[in-house]
Amino acid sequence: MINAFVAYFHFLGIMLLLAALVGEHLLLSGELDAGRGRQLVITDVIYIVAVALVLVSGLLRLIYFGKGLAFYTSNPLFHVKMTLFVVAAVLSVYPTVQIRGLRPAVRSGQAPGLGAGMIRRLKLLVRVELMLIATIPLLAVLMGRGFGY
């Protein structure tokens, strides 16, 4: 029974992670006034929580509640999945640092001072993260169906 709940929280974390990234992308698509800046900071916190949920539940599934460590680590698709996750995590550091830097302006009710060039860079990184994270469940499904052996 706990296996099902760990899997559920893993899937829920993936959905929340994707929703937060889409939210960040949408918030970066308009004028970044004080209200949108606050929403962006909150959305990034949700993103961080979702990443933690995916990571913890994924490790629990890998070690205790999945098909077994040997099943996963012997499959090259698993290694591709993990590589994509790590690349997405590394790419997310820059946007998170920039968004966290908006906190003082947001607290004081001012519009965040991100230039157009910075917003374009952040949007690009979020788009790449979305593409990488959206690919991971496909690889998981392929693994579950016996591909990669």
Is residue 20 situated within a structural domain? Answer: yes
pLDDT band at 70 (very low <50, low <70, confident <90, very high): confident
Mean pLDDT, the chain, as a whole number? 91
Could you tell me if 122 and 53 are in contact, meaning their C-beta atoms sit under 8 angstroms apart?
A: no
Q: What is the CA radius of gyration of the chain?
A: 17
Domain count across the chain: 1
| DSSP string covering 41-54 | HHHHHHHHHHHHHH
Is residue 149 situated within a structural domain? Answer: no
Could you give phi then psi for residue 43, rounded to 5 degrees? -65, -35
pLDDT digits (tens, 9 = 90+) for 12-64: 999 999 999 999 999 998 788 888 899 999 999 999 999 999 999 999 999 99
Is residue 68 situated within a structural domain? Answer: yes
For residue 77, give its domain range: 2-144
Residue 24 C-alpha from the chain's centroid? 11
